[in-house]
Chain A
Amino acid sequence: MGQRMSERITINLTVNGESVSRAVDPRMNLVDFLREELGLTGTRWSCEHGVCGACTVRIDGAISRGCLVFAVQLEGAQVETIEGASQSGELADLQAAFHRRNAVQCGFCSAGMLLTSAALLTENKTPSRDEIREQLSGNYCRCTGYHSIVDAVEEVAASRAGKGGLK
């Protein structure tokens, strides 16, 4: 981070709807950028190489692994984190269903689970349980055993489809 000041590169991007400009080390990745530069700690380090999904964010609308992206690659990009997606209310029904079903224990994976679930429900309005499991299979949760997360996503899909998901 502070090692080679002369090599810092200034980037301009939008994070959660706010314009951000920072000079960063070329080696700084997006997770460190969000956490250390912007204080957005809802994006988390866990496996550190793109397997577990704890660092999931949206880049230009697509869910991405923050740990596999360098900040300097994001000139002009629109980045959304769990903080932004929570604030906007777009995850509210998913968050409520996760809460009701206790599809969250320690909470470390939740940001990634929610953003990945939201992406699924955008692409597939009526996913089967197997399809939900398949879509979430890049997100590691050690606490729940996944069943309740699948329940919550299934419930929201039904509810959004007007089938009254509140079982």
Chain B
Amino acid sequence: MSGPLSFLDLPASPVGKSLPRANAKRLLAGRGVYLDDLRLPRLVHLAFLRSPYAHARIVSLDTTEAARAPGVARVVTAKDLEGRCAPWVGVLTHLKGLKSAPQFPLAKERVTWQGEPVVAVAAASRAEAEDAVNSIRAEWEELPPVTDMDAALAPGAVPIHAALGDNLAFAKTIDAGAVDAAFATPGAVVIEEDFSFARHTGVTPEPRAILADWDPAGESLTVHHAGQSPHMMKEILAKQFALPETAIRVMAHDVGGSYGIKIHVYPDEMAAIAIAILLARPVKFVADRLESFTSDIHAREHRIKARMAVSAKGELLAFAIDDRTGIGPYSTYPRTSAVEGNQVVNLAGSWYRCKNYRANLRVAFQNKPPTSQYRAVGHPIACAVTEAMMDRAAAALALDPAEIRRINLIADDAYPWTSASGLKFEKLSQQAALAKLLKLMDYKALRAEQAALRKKGIHRGIGLACFVEITNPGPAFYGVGGAPISAQDGATLRLDPGGTVTCAFSVTEQGQGTEAMAAQVAAAALCLPVEKIRIVTGDTERTPYGGGTWASRGAGIGGEAVLQAALALKANILTMAGAMLQTPAEALDLGASGVVDRAGNPRMGLDEIGRTAYFRGDTLPPGLQPELVATRHYVPRLYPFAFTNGVQGSYLELDAETGFIKLLKHWVVEDCGRIINPLLVEEQIRGGVVQGIGGALYEECLYDSRGQLLNGNLADYLVPMAAEMPDIEVAHIETPTADSALGAKGAGEAGTGGAPAAVMNAVNDALSPFKARVSAQPMTPARILAALGRG
């Protein structure tokens, strides 16, 4: 690792070790407690009547029969919730010009996407609630839907929300350097290409789920939420339901996958809370799979026109992109639906030296489900377009794809660096990462194998993709825009009487290893085995205030809070030990045996410290009040974000007869700063890569022209399964951030950000002997055959 060594680097330190996650054992024994596993007395279950149309006026709703159906506690329409939940609008003030319309838990007069919730039925079982939904008589007047983003933005298009004037939710332009002059450079080679990226969605194994419980006597609202950010939800609920913060507790238990899907405000979940308050009894809503497909946020859906100019030597002279993206009828609250496009235009090309960059972004309303942040937000698009264009440029100049990258990547000693779009890179390792990847994949041998096989009619492709990832976001991401989204996190560490430590931590766990990471950091600072650290997460009443899980920040931000809290607790322990031992605290330290002297000799066990403090205060020196608890928070201040970097390689085989792609191998070199647990980082990378491959090859929410979803189930919507996935080799470089003592950056989204680009470049490399290209994702067999002229 580059950077000064510290106690975190000592051989005994658990930081940097591939330790298994303590909390994973119960999950493997079937003893996880996910939201749907919770049962409360007097619980009712919700089912929704959802809009069957992409755009329609609600003419009438007759719920008489449904209200009388067996098991039904209440049928609820928008009218019943009037005044119970304030509408929300998904805008952020720093995304200037972003507009959206107010959203309610249940649609009022009009529905704007197929799947929008309209009527809720609360019944003794989900089955009875669904039975009752089937007996609701709804009359609709179908209105013309606007589903295509370009049609939505065309002059004269009917606005989905008349009050907003048009369907342009947000627009942004970046114009840096001298783009036109650079494109006009004599001898420049100019490449142009149109790309498209389909809509896909998160497909969390555990669907979205919420259980709300209102106690009118105690005036308290308890919300069990399969979510990523309990504190944010509490803030939002206090506002929307006009309740004091003291009345609300939000808890996240085991969460069966989230990937960004479970951090947004959803109308059906707000309806569940409103109905719990209305009925004064616990209400559970668990989305079924069709509901997930039609009401979870979707992501991506871009059309991009890209232009690139390179010199005869392969130097990138200018890069320009025009990005149109469709976000559904509303900008999602509170993170908005404009961040994805914003990140595409901020990120594209930023890891190359070129300073002549122009980007246009237009974000369109349309009658499809709302989109918002899903793992890697904008990165896969920015990376795929940039890296595809780099390959086009290399081909035009007969340069090797690895060579054109080497020529244009920012030099490893050129940092700090500011990209053309204004992104600030503290320190990256792009050139080293590329060199390491080429070695890891034995690039030359692979090219030789590819050439030999081509002669035999076997068409293999090799794809490279460099990338950066935005991690450790500070308040610049959301806080400055007025959203109740905390960029800081906190940890409270308490020494317990037996010499073990309980750590309450504001970052949440969805399986990524938050708790293991925190335990390793705390254990390193306190010289304890990780088994002696107990981590508590996911409860607004039991953890310090913090942002939770999003944007690859748990280790970088949360980990630093744990480290600082552990060091503060250590100081408190040594103060007490010093008083008991009549030794200056500075002459003491912590070691494997507990309190030790500077030579490492045992002086006192932590159990003795704990027991004396809690049970035998009478034996303490006068004036000494032990404080064996410490809380610290952390928010990054030096840089708005901690950028990471890396490079991916894909090796695959094309069946030119069927258009099928067989993935053979995938490689990743990733630099996420200090690595706390290599095993967990590698698993984040691998899982992320496969999610990226899903978007590149399989996943697409298919809609017809009327805005009807055609593949709302897991048989027709394809996700990556084990048989189609390759082995994924991961290697690391460690460039710690100087913003924190820990030096960790994020690793959660790098895999997803870079994989679609690497796979697309590999597919096109395999297609190159046929003079064919695919520039639309997912690259389905049909699209590949069409490119081959065999569609």
Contacts and interface: CB of A to CB of B under 8 A. Distances in A.
Interface of A: 1-3, 25, 27, 32, 35-36, 41-49, 51-52, 54, 81-83, 86, 95, 98-102, 104-111, 114, 129-130, 132-134, 136-150
16 contacts: A2-B70, A2-B125, A35-B36, A35-B37, A41-B33, A42-B29, A45-B286, A83-B31, A86-B30, A110-B30, A133-B722, A140-B203, A145-B687, A145-B720, A145-B725, A148-B683
Contacts of B513: 102, 105
B683 A106 contact: no
B714 A51 contact: yes
B347 to A, nearest CB: 23
A166 B751 CA distance: 27
A142 B70 contact: no
Contacts of B203: 140, 142
Interface of B: 20-21, 24-25, 27-34, 36-37, 70-71, 124-125, 127-128, 131, 202-207, 254-259, 286, 288-289, 510-513, 679-680, 683, 686-691, 713-715, 719-725, 727-728, 751
A100 B22 CA distance: 10
B511 A106 contact: yes
A45 to B, nearest CB: 7
Nearest to B694: A142
B28 A110 contact: yes
Contacts of B686: 144-145, 147-148
Nearest to A3: B70
B510 A140 contact: no
A99 B30 contact: no
A108 B722 contact: no
A145 B724 CA distance: 11
- Top 9 nearest A-B pairs (CB, nearest first) are A42-B30, A107-B27, A82-B30, A108-B256, A105-B511, A106-B511, A145-B690, A137-B723, A145-B686
B371 to A, nearest CB: 18
Contact of B24 (A25, A107, A132): A107
Nearest to B512: A105
A139 B723 CA distance: 10
Given A51-B715, A136-B722, A144 B29 contact: no
Contacts of A138: 721
| Residue from B29, B204, B289 having most chain A Cβ neighbours under 10 A | B29
B166 to A, nearest CB: 37
Contacts, number: 198
A3 to B, nearest CB: 5
B663 to A, nearest CB: 11
B714 A2 contact: no
Contacts of B510: 105-106
Given A46-B206, A48-B289, A99 B31 contact: no
A105 B23 CA distance: 10
A12 to B, nearest CB: 23
Given A2-B71, A95-B29, A147-B686, A44 B511 contact: no
Contacts of A27: 127
Contacts of B288: 45, 48
B49 to A, nearest CB: 18
Nearest to A87: B29
Contact of B713 (A2, A47, A104): A47
A63 B154 CA distance: 54
Given A1-B127, A142-B719, A107 B683 contact: no
Given A47-B289, A140-B714, A106 B20 contact: no
Nearest to A51: B714
A102 B713 contact: no
B631 to A, nearest CB: 28
B722 A41 contact: no
B35 to A, nearest CB: 11
A100 B28 CA distance: 11
Contacts of A142: 202-205, 257, 259, 687, 691, 719
A41 B124 CA distance: 19
Given A81-B30, A102-B24, A108-B34, A52 B722 contact: no
Nearest to B683: A102
Nearest to A99: B20
Contacts of B511: 104-107, 143
Given A105-B511, A106-B257, A146-B722, A44 B206 contact: yes
Nearest to A106: B511
Contacts of B202: 142
B29 A147 contact: no
B128 A2 contact: yes
Contacts of B714: 47, 49, 51-52, 140
Contacts of B24: 98-99, 102, 104, 107
Nearest to B202: A142
A114 B29 CA distance: 9
B34 A146 contact: no
Contacts of B687: 105, 142-145
B440 to A, nearest CB: 15
A27 B724 CA distance: 35
A45 B289 CA distance: 9
Nearest to A84: B30
Contact of A41 (B37, B679, B715, B721): B37
